[in-house]
Amino acid sequence: MMTRPALLAWAAAAIVALAYPFVVDPYWLTVGILALFYALVTASWTLLVGYAGQFSFGHMGFVALGAYASALLARYASLPIPLAALAAIALCLVVGAAIGGICLRMRGPYLAIFTLAFAEVLRIVITTENEVTGGSGGFQAATLFHGRSDIPYYMVALGLLAFTLAALGWMIVSRWGLFFRAIRENERAAAASGVRVVRFRVLAFAISSGFAGLAGAFYAHYIGMLTPDIGSVDQMGLVVAMAVIGGSESLTAAVLGALAVEALVEALRAYGQWRLVLFGALLLLTMRFARNGLLALAWEQVRRLPGLRRPRGTAEPAR
Amino acid sequence: MSGYLLAQALNGLVIGVIYALIAAGLTVIFSILKIVNFAHGEIYMMGGYFGYFVITLLGIPPLPAVLVAMLLAFALSVALERALLSPLYSPATERKGDYGILVTFGISILLRNLAIIAFGPFPLRPPSFWPGALIAGDLVLSWDRVFAAGVGIAILVGLLLFLARSAWGQALNAVSQSRESAAIVGINDRLAYTLAFAVGGALAGGAGALVGPIYALSPSMGLVPDTQAFAIVVLGGMGSVGGSIIAALLLGVSENLFVALFPDPTRGLSYAQAFSLVVLMAVLLIRPTGLFGREHVAME
C-alpha cells in the first residue's frame, strides 16, 4: 500500500529516532523528549481538526487536564504512576466525549470559541485553587524514573508516539477515517449516505482528547514540575503553528512539523521572543501560500526526483 | 454595603462601554466578512500602545490621542486585511471558515509576541487623562473612567450613525446581506471588506487607548477582553451591533457584581476572568442565537 519512497522514509526515520539518544548530549536529549511530547499533542490535534474538521482551541486544556489529573492522583490517591496515567486518560476520554456531545450543534468558529473558553476556565481554576494544585507556583509531580539518564524517558516517549501514530494511522485508513472526512466535508451529505454523524463527531473528540491526556500524563511525570501555563493560549498557538507549518491534513506531516518546530525553538534560543514571532509569521505564510503545509510541499518535490518516481499508471496513494 | 454595590455596578457600566466598543468592532467584522476575528484582542492591545506612545512621545492631549490611536489601528487593520484575508473572497479557497480562524489566530500570536519585543513584557501606564475622581457621598468614580465612558459612548453613537446614515454604512449593510446583489448595484465589495475589518479594528484600538490609564497596558492584555468580546457578541446575537452593545453593558455590570458578591474576595477577583467565559459557554449551549439573534451565516 505504501509507495517505495514512503517505506524508505519510514525506515530511515525509525533508525534515526532510535539512534538519536545515544549520539546527543543530555541537553538535546531533553529537547528530543519535549519534541516527541509536542509531536504526540500535534498528532492528536490533527486527527480532530485536519481529519474530522472540528476546530478545537482547547486541546492544550486536555493536555493540562491529563497532566494535573495524573499528578494529583499519584500524589493524593497514592496510585502507581501508570495507573494514575490510565485514570487521567479515561477522564480525558469522558470529558472529551462530553464536550464533543454538548457541542454537536456547534461548528467552525463557535466550536473554536467554546473550546478556547473551556481551556481558559480550566487554566483559571487550576491557578486559583492553589491549595490543591499549587497554583501558578507549580505542582511537584512524581517522576517516572529515578536514574541519572533521561534515555528511558526518551524511549517511553518514542514508544508512545509510535503507538499513537499506529493507532491514529490505522483509524484514518479504516472506515472510521472515511466517516470523519465525510463529516468534515459535508455533514448533511454524510448523514444522507448513512454515516452516524453524532456518534462519529463525539468519537473523534473523545479519542483526540484521550491522546491529549496521554501526552499530558507523560509530560507531568517527566517534567516533574507542572504549571498552569501548559494549558495556556500561547502553548495552543505553538501546537497550531506546528500542525499548520507541517501540514494539518496529514498525520505524518503534522508530526514532522512538530519535531522541526521544537528543534528550531531550541536552536534559536538566543533569539528569545523573536522565535514566536517567526513561528507566527511562518504560520501565516503557510496558510496564505501553501495551505497543505511546508513539509507536504517539500514531499511533493522529493517525489518528483528521478529514481523515486512512481511507476506509470499507479494510483495516487490515499493519505 | 449597598453603596459599595452601587459603585461596583457603576464601574461595571463604565467597563461595559469599553466592552461594547470591542464587541461592536468584532460584530462589524463578523457581519461583513463572516469570520470571527481571533486577533481582535491584539488590535485592542495595539490601540492601547498607540495611545500611550502618541501621548508620551508626541505630547498630544488625551482626546485627539484616542482618535490618532483609532486611526493607527485602522491603518494596521487595512494592512493585515489586504495582506492576509483576500483568500476569503476567492472561490478557489476551500473551507474558508477554517482559513479565517487559523489566519486570525496566527495574527494574534504574531502581534502579541511582537508587542513583547517592541514594548517589553512589563506593564506600562499612560498618564491620566483627567486626574482626580468624582465623589458623591460614598460613591467614588475616577474621572478617567468617566472620560472613558463618555468618549466610548460618543464613538458608539458615531458608529451607529455611520452604519445607518452614511452611504458607506449602507453599502456595508448591503454586502452583509448579499455580496452578489451588492456587487450588481455597483458596490465595490472588496473595498467593503477592507472597510469593515478596518472599522472593527479602529473600534478595538479606541477601546485600548481609553483603557490605558485605567488598567495598565501589557502585551497579553488582549487575551481576556477577546474572550469577553466573544461572549458579548454571542449573547447579543452574532451580527447585531445594537444587541452587542446591550449585551456588553449587561456583562460589564453582572461581572462587577459577581466580584462584589463572591464570598472569598481574592478568589472572586481570580474567577472574574472566568465569569464571562462561563456565560459564553452557557449561551452557546442554551441559546446560541443570543438575546436578539440572527441565524449563523457563512461566507459563500
* Bridge partners of residue B142, in order along the sequence: B133
Residue A309 pLDDT grade (very low, low, confident, very high; cuts 50, 70, 90):
low
User: Could A240 and B234 be called an inter-chain contact, meaning their C-beta atoms sit closer than 8 Å?
Assistant: no
Query: What is the C-alpha separation between B206 and B204, in angstroms, rounded?
Result: 5
Cα distances from B153 to residues A195, B18, B20, in angstroms, run 51, 9, 9
Chain centroid to CA B229? 6
Query: Considering Cα of B110, then B44, then A45, then A1, what sign does the dihedral take?
Result: negative
Average pLDDT, chain B: 86
Best-predicted range by mean pLDDT among A46-50, B9-13, B199-203?
A: B199-203
Higher-confidence residue: B73 or B30? B73
The complex scores an ipTM of 0.85
For residue B25, give the H/E element and its range.
Answer: helix B2-33
Chain B: closest CA distance from residue A47 (Å): 15
For A271-280, what is each residue's pLDDT tens digit? 888 888 898 8
Q: How many Å lie between the alpha carbon of B174 and the closest alpha carbon of chain A?
A: 23
Residue B107 vs residue B124, higher pLDDT? B107
What mean pLDDT comes out for the span A5-24?
87
Using the predicted structure, report yes or no on whether residue A319 has a pLDDT greater than 50: no
Least confident of A20-24, A201-205, B264-268: B264-268
pLDDT digits (tens, 9 = 90+) for B45-75: 999 999 999 988 888 888 899 999 999 999 9
Q: What is the mean pLDDT of residues A211-221?
A: 95
CB-based burial, B2-32: b 16+ in 10 Å, e otherwise:
eeeeebbbbbbbbbbbbbbbbbbbbbbbbbb
Taking the C-alpha atoms of residue A89 and residue A62, their distance in angstroms, rounded to an integer, is: 9
B270 to A53: CB separation less than 8 angstroms, yes or no? no
Strand (E) positions, B55-150?
A: 133-136, 139-142
Report pLDDT for A317.
Answer: 47
pLDDT one-digit tens code per residue, B241-255: 888 888 888 888 888
- Maximum CA pair distance of chain A? 66
Angle at A169 between CA A51 and CA A188, to 5 degrees: 30
Q: Is the pLDDT score of A15 beyond 80?
A: yes
Lookup: cell for B160 = 451607529
Residue A316 has pLDDT above 50, yes or no: no
Asked if pLDDT for residue A312 goes beyond 60, the answer is no
Nearest to A121 among B84, B277, B298 (CB): B277
Question: Whole-prediction pTM value?
Answer: 0.88
Q: Do B110 and A234 touch (CB under 8 A)?
A: no
Record: contact B98-A108, CB cut-off 8 A: yes
How far, in Å, CA of B40 to CA of B279, rounded? Answer: 19
Q: Do A280 and B285 touch (CB under 8 A)?
A: no
What pLDDT, on a 0 to 100 scale, did the predictor assign at position B267? 81
* Interchain CB contact of B297 with A (< 8 Å): no
- Read off the pLDDT band of B143 (50, 70, 90): confident
- Mutating which of B109, B230, B238 best tests the A interface, going by the most A Cβ atoms within 10 A? B109
> B296, A284: Cβ pair inside 8 Å?
no
**Percentage of chain A with pLDDT > 90?**
40
**Long-range contacts of A30-36, Cβ-Cβ distance < 8 Å, separation of 24 or more:** A30/A150, A31/A262, A31/A263, A31/A266, A32/A154, A33/A150, A33/A153, A33/A154, A33/A157, A33/A222, A34/A262, A35/A258, A35/A259, A35/A262, A35/A263, A36/A154, A36/A157, A36/A158, A36/A160, A36/A161, A36/A259
Q: Which residues contact A113 (CB under 8 A, 6 or more apart)?
A: A57, B36, B227, B230, B234, B280, B284
Which residue on chain A is closest to B230 by alpha carbon? A113
Across the interface, do B110 and A280 touch by the CB < 8 Å criterion?
Answer: yes
